[in-house]
Amino acid sequence: MNYLEGLNQPQQEAVKHSDGPLMIIAGAGSGKTRVLTYRTAHLIANGVDPFQILLLTFTNKAAGEMRQRVEKIIGNDAKNLWMGTFHSVFAKILRFDGRHLGYTSDFSIYDTDDSKSLIRSIVKERGLDDKVYKANTVFQRISGAKNRLIGPDEYANNPIISADDTAAKLPDMGKLYKIYALRCFQANAMDFDDLLFNTNTLFRDHPAVLDKYQRKFKYVMVDEFQDTNISQYLIVKKLSEISQNLCVVGDDAQSIYAFRGASIDNILNLEKDYPNMTTIKLEQNYRSTQNIVEAANSIIAKNKNQLKKTVFTENEEGSLIELIKAGSDNEEGRLISTHIFESKMNLGLRNTDFAILYRTNSQSRAFEESLRKLNIKYRIIGGTSFYQRREIKDLLAYFRYTINQNDEEAFKRIINLPKRGIGDTTIAKISITANEQQISVWEVISNIKQYQTGRLSETIENFADLIKSFKIMAESGKKDAYEVASHIAKSSGLLKELHEDKTVEGLSRYENVQGLLNSIKEFVDNPDEGVEDKNLNTFLQTVSLMTTADQDDPDGDNDRVTMMTIHGAKGLEFNHVYVVGMEEDLFPSQMMLQSRADLEEERRLFYVAITRAEKKLMMSYAETRYQWGRLKPCEPSRFLDEIDPKYLQFAKNIRRAVEDTAKLPQGFVRMTNREQKIPDFGTSNNPTPANILIQRPRPAVVGNTYKPSADFAPSDTKNLIENDRVEHLKFGFGKVKKIDINGTDRKATIQFEGTIGEKTLLLSFAKLRIL
DNA sequence: TTTGCGCGGGTTTTT
DNA sequence: CCCGCGCAAA
């Protein structure tokens, strides 16, 4: 058994253990993926049918990689393994067996936006105050209940919950939950929590179905077990009830998803549920230097709530953790980027060797700007992902509605898109008719002439006919997902509308939609393992459960610096890691401390961040940070004091870059652009306005403090700017073609010709505002 | 029915 | 700062 070579004692034990419950406590960098892979291969080598193995991972990508690694050892059989995230695997099961609960196999999946939008409508319909019943709050309460497996009826009848809701001044929560659940059901839709909740219900109420899967999955393995919630745990517990072959791998020190119901108790209490469980601890770290491992240990030691283990390493001592103090968030960006640049030069490293980790997505901005200035390629994982973009969600809503006409949220999105003159009033009328007649909205609009006459009935009929034609095409089976999708994109008028929009934003939208169509083409041409059909429905399913880590790079160039939140970095490792934004209230997050009073989870998050580094770890904090347009003073994070000081040193030889935003060279006026979203940059939650430097060779506005009200005359500016050279910090260069100044509010609309990347474009009607 | 504007509120992490 | 909402005007 060559695959046991090179494994240490506990690793081998874990690989060889086949039957009976097994818990592997795997410290950071202790080779748990390897153990899981080999264990899977070992089972198959010993005669277990791959069909009988279920492996739940945290991302689909991780599952894919693991499948490949197993394939290398045991060959083609690996294709038959069931692997994926909880959500994707159980969505698949619900497609097969959801009919027992009254769902059809083409149920829609509501994302968080859909759920909140539905909640908003329900709150509105019931005449409740939407400032009290905030969509976010209501959603979180419902989600929390579902994750604890509390259904709507139980919720409404539970006196403790009611008392809590009343105390929170939300007495109608029970009703809202009921209506929300009913509306989702009527829409033949499940939200993320439902995928787990309904699987539990399915297994609870339909023993025959449970029995089928219990017999199918003889071996159940769960990766990142510390991040499962009760609902997920109960599913795997039920599945492995008969075989007792449950193997979980996790690290309580890396549990960072309590906010979505993950319970560290799952791992702490597992031994109670499985008295004869074998526990194996993997404590040797193969990833990081001694300094990094020990610094991480010194942090996590402060937590009370944890299992005992000692992570150690036999790697070299390595350098100390360096700490950088920056004057501002922008300077932080410049210092880190410069450091990356110099490390690349001095050590001959590649971009992929570096990662910048931060607490919140919005922090990416300063690093994007500075990396771009140094011509260092980067990629951002997470943030507003591709599939969250408006135009993408719009087109996906068309697909969803084509497949499922009960999908209320998809309907709301597309009924007046592109504009057909069907507004809220008309939709409300249709909805009332549907209610009166006790039929669905789709039945009303697809037979609109029976129910309504007048100016709009024609338009509505056209819409219904359009959807019907899509439906026929999708169901005929003659066309693949790509053909159907591009037909829908064209015939719906979405593509046309975007194509006519010549603004930068419009262009990038158009390109995004093309990108979506291309990815469907790819999906059709090389479907993933385990995907049987190439129809639109299957594509939709895949897409709605994509995790942010599953995103592919936009082009073939993979040598990029990675930027992401610490949550996104789970399971990854990098040669050099920069943990940035080490400021009190930012990390540890003030929000987290207020709402959950859980400093320990933030500390575990810090632990995760530190242990991503192999060779070099650097941390930085800024003394001031731009927030809501203001410069806010910051305090260094308490976490910096918690690291044993012997592992820490202030960075030497850090070159302070010139404060280029505060002290613009003479003859420059700084302008910002509110409306413009930049194609490559619209990825963080809080994209910064594009900065535009306008060369202005007049002494009137020279200087750092420019007071628009006193010496600013619109016509004057118009003369100054037109035909001037424009340097767009993010786009490149260009020439101003036309300027419109809008009165006294210091807003200007300019049209200029410039370059984005390598393409020359006419950028039109960017709205500018002079600072 | 759409659009533009002023106002108030939020502000974390993800399937 | 950014977003969403309500209101008024086109």
List pLDDT tens digits, range A131-186: 788 888 888 889 989 999 999 999 999 999 998 888 888 888 898 999 999 999 99
Give residues with Cβ within 8 angstroms of A308, minimum separation 6.
none
From the CA of A541 to the C1' of B15: give the distance in Å. Answer: 13
Q: Which residue has the higher pLDDT, A508 or A121?
A: A121
The answer to whether some atom of strand C lies closer than 7 Å to the beta carbon of A629 is: yes
Residue type (1 letter), A552? D
Nucleotides of B under 7 A from a protein CB: 1-3, 9-15
Q: Which residues pair with A520 in a beta bridge?
A: none
Q: A383 CA to C1 C1', in Å? A: 18
Share above pLDDT 90 across residues of chain A, in percent, rounded to a whole number: 37
CA distances from residue A553 to A186, A380, A386 in whole angstroms, order as listed: 38, 9, 11
Q: Of A224, A368, A480, A614, which residue is the catalytic one? A: A224
The answer to whether A673 CB is within 7 Å of strand C is no
Tokens of A724: 């001037």
Query: Which nucleotide across the nucleic acid strands is nearest to A605, CA versus C1'?
Result: B13
Higher pLDDT, A385 or A16: A16
pLDDT, position A750: 47
Residue A47, Cβ density class (10 Å: 0-12 exposed, 13-18 middle, ≥19 buried): exposed
In this complex, the nucleotide whose C1' atom is nearest to the CA atom of residue A116 is C4
Q: Which of A194, A223, A394, A480 is catalytic?
A: A223
Extract the tokens encoding A188: 């033949």
Q: For residue A83, which amino acid is it?
A: M
List the catalytic residue out of A11, A12, A32, A570: A32
Query: What CA–CA distance (Å, rounded) separates A681 from A357?
Result: 17
Instruction: Give the mean pLDDT of A232-256.
Output: 93
Measure, in angstroms, how far nucleotide B4 C1' is from residue A504 CA. 21
Helix A230-239 to helix A86-97 angle (10° resolution) is 60
CA of A742 to C1' of B5 (A): 14
Mean pLDDT to the nearest integer, A231-238 = 94
> Considering just the CA atoms, what is the radius of gyration of chain A in Å?
28
The mean per-residue pLDDT over the stretch A442-459 comes to: 81
User: What is the C-alpha separation between A749 and A618, in angstroms, rounded?
Assistant: 43
Q: How many residues does chain A have?
A: 771
pLDDT of residue A193: 93
| pLDDT recorded at residue A357 | 95
A472 SS3 class: helix
Only one residue has tokens 């998809």, namely A410
Residue A502 Cβ < 7 Å to strand C: no
- Model pLDDT, residue A613: 96
**Is it true that the peptide bond before A665 is cis, omega within 30 degrees of 0?**
no
Share of chain A above pLDDT 70, in %: 81
Rounded average pLDDT over A648-653: 80
Residues of A (166-185) placing their beta carbon closer than 7 angstroms to any atom of strand C are: none
The answer, yes or no, to whether residue A735 has pLDDT greater than 70, is no
Strand C bases within 7 angstroms of protein beta carbons: 1-2, 5-6
Q: Do A105 and A96 meet the contact criterion of CB atoms below 8 Å apart?
A: yes
Report the alpha-carbon distance of residue A267 to residue A494 in Å, rounded.
Answer: 49
Angle at A268 between CA A266 and CA A274, to 5 degrees: 75
Distance between the alpha carbon (CA) of A246 and the C1' atom of C6, Å: 55
A521 is catalytic: no
Return the closest nucleotide (C1') to the Cα of A135: C4
Which residues in window 418-437 of A are less than 7 A from strand B by Cβ? 419-426
pLDDT of residue A159: 93
- Residue A336 near residue A373 (C-beta atoms within 8 A): no
The region of weakest confidence among A222-231, A387-396, A732-741 is A732-741
The answer to which of A205-209, A211-215, A738-742 has the lowest mean pLDDT is A738-742
Residue whose C-alpha is closest to residue A25's, from A41, A12, A14: A14
Is A612 labeled as catalytic in the residue annotation? yes
> Is A443 labeled as catalytic in the residue annotation?
no
The tokens 């400093």 sit on which residue? A599
Res. A420 pLDDT band, cuts 50 70 90: confident
Q: Which residues pair with A578 in a beta bridge?
A: A356, A618
- CB-strand contact A597/B, under 7 Å: no
Cα separation, A386 vs A397, in Å, equals 15
pLDDT at A55 over 90: yes
The whole-number Å distance from A267's CA to C7's C1' is 54
Q: Is A254 a catalytic residue?
A: yes
By the 8 A CB rule, do A559 and A377 touch? yes
Closest C1' nucleotide to A672's CA: C1
Distance CA A122, CA A131 (A): 14
Question: Is A223 among the catalytic positions?
Answer: yes
H or E element, residue A358: strand A354-358
pLDDT at A151: 94
CA-to-C1' span, A767 to B4 (A):
15
- pLDDT band, residue A502 (cuts 50/70/90): low
Cβ-contact A191, A114 below 8 angstroms: yes
DSSP, res A651? P
The neighbour count for residue A627, using CB atoms within 10 Å, is: 13
The active-site residue, picked from A16, A33, A178, A585, is A33
* Mean pLDDT value across chain A: 79
Element counts in chain A: helices (H) and strands (E):
32, 25
Distance, CA of A455 to C1' of B13, in Å: 49
Do A10 and A39 form a contact (C-beta atoms < 8 A)? no
pLDDT at A461 over 50: yes
Determine the distance between A495 (CA) and B3 (C1') in angstroms.
23
- Catalytic residue, chosen from A281, A309, A612, A730, is A612
A689 touches strand C (CB under 7 A): yes
Query: What mean pLDDT do residues A698-711 have?
Result: 22
Mean pLDDT of A425-449: 84
In terms of average pLDDT, the best of A161-175, A226-240, A435-449, A535-549 is A226-240
Distance A421 CA to B3 C1' (A): 14
CA-to-CA separations, A143 to A146, A176, A191, A394, A597, in angstroms, rounded: 5, 12, 9, 25, 20
Q: Is the predicted pLDDT of residue A412 greater than 80, yes or no?
A: yes
Locate A179 and state its tokens.
């209506």
A767: CB within 7 A of chain C nucleic strand: no
Chain A window 63-122, residues with Cβ within 7 A of nucleic strand B:
85-88, 111-112
Distance A463 CA to C6 C1' (A): 29
Q: Which of A57, A232, A254, A565 is catalytic?
A: A254
Query: Does the annotation count A77 as an active-site position?
Result: no
The region of weakest confidence among A92-106, A282-296, A639-653, A683-697 is A683-697
Under the banding of pLDDT at 50, 70 and 90, the label for residue A558 is: confident
**B9 C1': nearest CA residue:** A131
CB proximity A567–strand B (7 Å threshold): yes
* Angular region, A332: left φ>0, alpha ψ -120 to 50, beta rest: alpha
Dihedrals phi, psi of A194, to nearest 5 degrees: -60, -35
Whether A749 shows a pLDDT value over 60: the answer reads no
A684 touches strand B (CB under 7 A): no
pTM, 2 dp: 0.81
| Closest nucleotide relative to residue A687's CA, C1' based | C2
User: Coil, helix or strand for A430?
Assistant: helix
Q: In which element (H, E) is residue A763 found?
A: strand A759-770
Q: What is the pLDDT of residue A679?
A: 28
Question: Shortest CA–C1' contact from A259: which nucleotide?
Answer: B13
Query: Which pLDDT value is given to residue A532?
Result: 65
